């Protein structure tokens, strides 16, 4: 049945089609325009009678997509593919028919975009705040869907790496979808907006397409955080007149100064994008800084003719206004990997307001706005460029990872951290710029340069100073790697996320590959050493067989081999040993005796009863995540012990043992930690620095000298549970001079073993009933 489409809507479609043809006729020869016209006719016929959710003819969408691609002045092949990008998926047109009519190149581009579009159909679970995960979903069905999604996304990235025009079309397609998103149900709006922010906006940034990136981010922001979007919009609108007057004042002053210096420049006020303001406000709020301290909320952009004039204009700006220390970046001398070039400086402008100024040439500006699409490689009949190919090495990296990595989720995780995440720019000693994921370390840098350099890294210097290998790199750092003279290979500790040695998934995968190549017996021995150390740290008694079952491995050998290869880290073991809270905490309404501050355990559930006072036993000091059991005392509620507590094992009245479970992990519970170490100046300082760095509160600390220049350091800390305790122990084990870290009883104030056996019924009762 024919659909009744309003005449006005058909007129709009006709106007949009004419605008598209007018744009391409301005730069394409007639014989290439004919290809686009043929594709437009074909798409119009294929989508005949189809409507979008908004009620407009479906052909509006491919024409709008092609319009954006044409504004980038791309070739006829790309524009034709943009017009046809939905005919395979939505109209049932076979690949062979497209290939016969438009050629192999157009057909392959359309097929590539179709594969990317199919990923949008794989729905992801969405929380109340719109947060979604690209992998790691709970439950068998969600895990299956996550695996399917990871496999599909892997195909998408590989298709994109073979021909970046596939991504250019998809980005234009996504932009128009975001502009018309209001026609969809709210859950779909949130899902598509989150995907846009997680995947497509970062990809636009990677391609250097700044204009498209901020448009995608602002549209996604509107649906993900509608309240904050409206707040910032209103705030900017209220101060718009004041802001425009200030920008005009700065513009006139700077223009006059540039003319006096003989520099012809185009000066414009640059509007800060809403999502960028939101991110900056959030970061500033975390550090207690005010909104007025966002330096580039008010900004000027200066476009000059030559690179030399860019630096001359910078001198003029600094002569007019005082520069803010640490707020200058030279991306002309050191371009970003997405080809972006510009000078950035922040100054104190009129009336003490901060002002950012960007200075660049016209060519740099075009690249900054359109990135890869501006490059001659994608213009009609233009040759390629070695410099451009060098800047697009990250695309080839996708193909390298495709060959190296067997797991789809692993491949996707690498792209998420190394390609789509936030970045920092650091320098090699020769001055080359290296782009790394935010939080990357000198080890990540070493593996980025060369795999063997990473394997044999023994030290690093940042800005001329020796630093730890897990030091987070900052923008503009210069990094030098110290290499071992003999092949030594990586350490398993580098794969421990609690220690923070590696932030990039690609570097972690290279370390795992090295361990996979080692002898199996050595791998098992290494895994057993890791497991023994972990259980000793957590004071957990369990056999290798029990742990293998908990971790889902068919045999202890398989678990040990996985540990030895670095496929399982100690944090995962701690997480699996933790008890997942399955019921809400039951709080006592009127306890007979208020628990002390140290022993309060309002997050414990006594099975089968309410309003029971619970107290943590000091003999074994259980924390959230430990396997626990309750002991019913006489008149003082339930004393909670770890299941492997020796006093519980020796209990001769088993009827007084009752089942208890952890409720919410809101409370912090005391834990006694013992460290054996070689005494040195600064040891306690380094230990307390590590503890405070993990946001763990220290209740008390003491040290005791031992023969041979050794010492024992004991401290009581308040922890949220066994997972935090595992991270803390891992970090403490890296402190210079510390040889062993163990968990002891709160009543054990002397070196390990001082508690000894409990003699007699009275002593046992004293411990079981704190």
Provide the annotated active-site residues: 89-90
Q: Are 151 and 408 in contact (CB under 8 A)?
A: yes
Task: For residues 341 and 306, give the distance between their C-alpha atoms in angstroms, rounded to a whole number.
Answer: 13
Sheet hosting strand 465-467, strand order edge to edge: 465-467, 457-462, 479-483
DSSP 381-447: TPPP-HHHHHHTHHHHHHHHHHHH---HHHHHHHHHHHTSS-EEEEE-TT--EEEEETT--HHHHHH
Task: For residues 498 and 571, give the distance between their C-alpha atoms in angstroms, rounded to a whole number.
Answer: 7
- Helices 210-224 and 226-238 pack at an angle, to 10 degrees, of 120
Q: Specify the DSSP element, H or E, that contains 268.
A: strand 266-271
Nearest partner of 203 among 170, 245, 242, 237, judged by Cα: 170
**How would you write 171-189 as a 3-class SS string?**
HHHHHHHHHCHHHCCHHHH
DSSP 481-532: EEE-SS-----GGGG-TTTT----HHHHHHHHHHHHTS-HHHHHHHHHHHHH
Task: For residues 411 and 483, give the distance between their C-alpha atoms in angstroms, rounded to a whole number.
Answer: 28
Rg, the chain, Cα only: 31
Q: Are 278 and 228 in contact (CB under 8 A)?
A: yes
| Residues in the chain, overall count | 770
Torsion sign, CA atoms 50, 55, 60, 65:
negative
Tokens for 316, please give them.
Answer: 């003029």
Task: For residues 570 and 495, give the distance between their C-alpha atoms in angstroms, rounded to a whole number.
Answer: 9
Q: Are 690 and 732 in contact (CB under 8 A)?
A: yes
Tokens for 621, please give them.
Answer: 């000091």
Query: Pairing state of beta strands 614-616 and 638-642?
Result: parallel
Task: For residues 266 and 161, give the distance between their C-alpha atoms in angstroms, rounded to a whole number.
Answer: 37
**How would you write 542-609 as a 3-class SS string?**
CCHHHHHHHHCCCCHHHHHHHHHHCCCCHHHHHHHHCCCCCCCCCCCCCCCCCCCCCCECCCEEECCC
Q: Are 115 and 85 in contact (CB under 8 A)?
A: no
Nearest partner of 500 among 463, 476, 477, 467, judged by Cα: 467
Locate tokens 């609108």: which residue? 237
Tokens for 484, please give them.
Answer: 């071992």
């Amino acid at each position: 049945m024919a659909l009744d489409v309003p005449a006005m809507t058909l007129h709009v479609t006709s106007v949009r089609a004419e605008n598209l043809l007018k744009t391409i006729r301005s730069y394409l020869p007639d014989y290439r325009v004919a290809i686009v016209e043929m594709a437009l006719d074909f798409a119009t016929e294929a989508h005949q009678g189809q409507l979008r959710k908004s009620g407009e003819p479906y052909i509006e969408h491919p024409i709008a997509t092609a319009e954006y691609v044409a504004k980038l002045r791309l070739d006829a092949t790309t524009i034709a593919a943009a017009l046809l990008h939905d005919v395979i998926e939505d109209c049932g047109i076979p690949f062979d028919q497209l290939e016969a009519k438009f050629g192999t190149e157009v057909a392959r581009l359309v097929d590539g975009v179709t594969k990317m579009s199919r990923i949008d159909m794989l729905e992801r679970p969405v929380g109340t705040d719109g947060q979604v995960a690209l992998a790691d979903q709970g439950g068998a069905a969600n895990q299956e869907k996550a695996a399917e999604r990871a496999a599909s996304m892997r195909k998408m990235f590989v298709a994109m790496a073979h021909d970046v025009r596939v991504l250019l079309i998809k980005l234009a397609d996504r932009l128009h979808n975001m502009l018309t998103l209001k026609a969809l149900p709210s859950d779909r709006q949130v899902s598509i907006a989150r995907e846009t922010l997680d995947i497509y906006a970062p990809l636009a940034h990677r391609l250097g397409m700044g204009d498209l990136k901020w448009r995608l981010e602002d549209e996604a922001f509107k649906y993900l955080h509608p309240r904050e979007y409206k707040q910032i919009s209103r705030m900017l609108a209220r101060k718009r007149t004041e802001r425009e007057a200030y920008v005009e004042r700065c513009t006139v002053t700077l223009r006059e100064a540039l003319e006096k210096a003989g520099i012809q420049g185009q000066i414009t006020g640059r509007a800060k994008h809403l999502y960028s303001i939101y991110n900056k406000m959030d970061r500033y709020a975390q550090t207690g800084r005010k909104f007025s301290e966002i330096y580039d909320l008010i900004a000027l952009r200066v476009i000059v003719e030559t690179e030399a004039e860019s630096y001359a204009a910078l001198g003029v700006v600094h002569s007019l206004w005082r520069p803010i220390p640490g707020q200058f970046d030279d991306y002309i001398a050191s371009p970003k990997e997405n080809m972006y070039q510009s000078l950035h400086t922040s100054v104190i402008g009129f009336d003490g307001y901060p002002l950012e100024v960007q200075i660049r040439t016209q060519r740099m500006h075009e690249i900054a706005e359109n990135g890869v699409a501006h490059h001659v490689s994608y213009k009609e009949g233009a040759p390629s460029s070695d410099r451009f190919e060098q800047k697009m090495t990250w695309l080839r990296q996708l193909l390298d990872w495709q060959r190296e990595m067997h797991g789809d989720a692993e491949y996707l995780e690498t792209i998420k951290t190394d390609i789509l995440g936030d970045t920092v720019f650091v320098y090699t000693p020769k001055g080359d710029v290296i782009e790394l994921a935010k939080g990357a370390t000198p080890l990540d840098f070493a593996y980025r340069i060369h795999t063997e350099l990473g394997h044999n890294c023994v030290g690093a210097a940042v800005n001329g100073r020796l630093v730890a290998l897990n030091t987070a790199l900052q923008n503009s750092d210069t990094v030098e790697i110290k290499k071992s003279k003999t092949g030594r290979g990586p350490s398993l500790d580098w794969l421990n996320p609690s220690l923070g040695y590696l932030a990039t998934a690609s570097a972690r995968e290279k370390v795992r590959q090295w361990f996979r190549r080692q002898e199996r017996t050595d791998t098992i021995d290494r895994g057993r050493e890791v497991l023994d150390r972990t259980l000793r740290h957590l004071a957990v008694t369990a056999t290798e067989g029990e742990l293998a079952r908990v971790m889902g491995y068919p045999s202890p050998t398989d678990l040990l081999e996985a540990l030895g290869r670095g496929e399982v880290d100690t944090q995962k073991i701690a997480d699996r040993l933790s008890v997942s809270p399955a019921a809400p905490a039951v709080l006592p309404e009127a306890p007979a005796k208020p628990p002390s501050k140290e022993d309060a355990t309002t997050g414990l559930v006594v099975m089968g009863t309410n309003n029971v006072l619970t107290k943590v036993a000091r003999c074994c000091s259980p924390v959230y995540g430990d396997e626990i059991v309750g002991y019913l005392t006489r008149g003082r509620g339930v004393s909670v012990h770890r299941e492997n507590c020796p006093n519980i094992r020796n209990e001769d009245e088993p009827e007084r043992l009752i089942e208890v479970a952890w409720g919410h992990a809101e409370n912090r519970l005391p834990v006694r930690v013992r460290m054996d170490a070689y005494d040195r100046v600064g040891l306690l300082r380094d230990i307390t620095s590590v503890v405070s760095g993990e946001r763990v509160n220290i209740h008390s600390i003491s040290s005791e000298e031992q023969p041979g220049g050794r010492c024992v350091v004991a401290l009581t800390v308040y922890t949220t549970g066994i997972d935090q305790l595992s991270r803390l122990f891992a970090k403490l084990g890296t402190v210079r001079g510390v040889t062993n870290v163990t968990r002891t009883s709160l009543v054990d104030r002397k070196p390990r073993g001082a508690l000894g056996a409990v003699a007699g019924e009275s002593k046992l009762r004293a411990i079981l009933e704190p």
